[in-house]
Amino acid sequence: MSIDLGNPRVISDEEKAVLLASPRGYCAGVDRAVVTVEQALELYGAPVYVRKEIVHNKHVVDDLRERGAIFVDELEEVPSGATVVFSAHGVAPAVHEDAAARELKTIDATCPLVTKVHLEARRFAAQDYDILLIGHAGHEEVEGTMGEAPGQTHLVESPADVEKLVVRDPARVVWLSQTTLSVDETMQTVTALRERFPEMIDPPSDDICYATQNRQLAVKEISAGADLVVVVGSGNSSNSVRLVEVAKEAGARDARRVDDASELRDEWFEGVGSVAVTSGASVPEKLVDGVLAALAERGYPEPQVVHSAEESLIFALPKELRRDLKAAGR
């Protein structure tokens, strides 16, 4: 539908529709990390320290902070002997060493899919490969992965970075990736890398996590022809930001990211009939419910759920926490 933004026509309630992506929201790794902090607070009592944000969602972080979690940027902020949880994004080996030196009680809530990438980095580094890590500078997951083999890992943010790469042996390079990237953009970078390094090898399995791929597939299905796509997620959530980009590439006329319903703007809905809604992998469902309620207040009907994949994966809690829960009879 073509809309004249300068003079949008009035949309009747009969023309309005809402599509709701499924799957959306919490993935197994995020659920595990959040439950880890909740269980640690219940078992050990407040405060429990958390290095960085446990997941990239400000509402989740604020809720845990109210319960007694203390979020810190570096371990030097944690008192000696205290309990500290490592976030779902993972940490470099140097962080583990620092924690041991300061006699901190650590609980590692790194997503197992991120841990898989860390193990790949260690293995290829031990085999003397140069590692081409596709990801975003400054992201905690990237910093943790690069810390596994800092002397052999090169960060590649986009195809534009490829020509600048200097490796020791073009015949011994492998690419790995941050788990929360856009699948399509990652493969564009991989294509550019392979043109530069024809003998580059692939990781043993896809590094982009199942939940990221499923949510991108789901948003593609609901975005084609949509007047507006609303992605619920925080601005520092890589996978949420990618969903906005994927929605636009899939044909949405407009796509917006909001932390919650309070950030919706009336002007976004001028001339808008079809609205599609999804959420990033670190977003609790109550925030999506809030957006749907706000749409209802604007005259939009109950959403039509569009199923594109089924998810049943569950990760066990970190072994340190399971041990202590068992000892406490829980």
Catalytic site positions:
141
Q: Sign of dihedral through CA atoms 155, 115, 63, 261?
A: positive
Task: Please say whether the beta carbons of 20 and 292 come within 8 A.
Answer: yes
Q: Tokens standing for 277? A: 């809604």
- 8-11 contacts, C-beta under 8 A, 24 or more apart: 8/270, 8/271, 9/271, 10/271, 11/271, 11/272, 11/273
Nearest residue to 131 (alpha-carbon basis) of 63, 76, 178: 178
The count of other CB atoms within 10 Å of the CB of residue 257 is: 21
Q: List 277's β-bridge partners, or say none.
A: 20, 230
Q: Tokens standing for 6? A: 């300068």
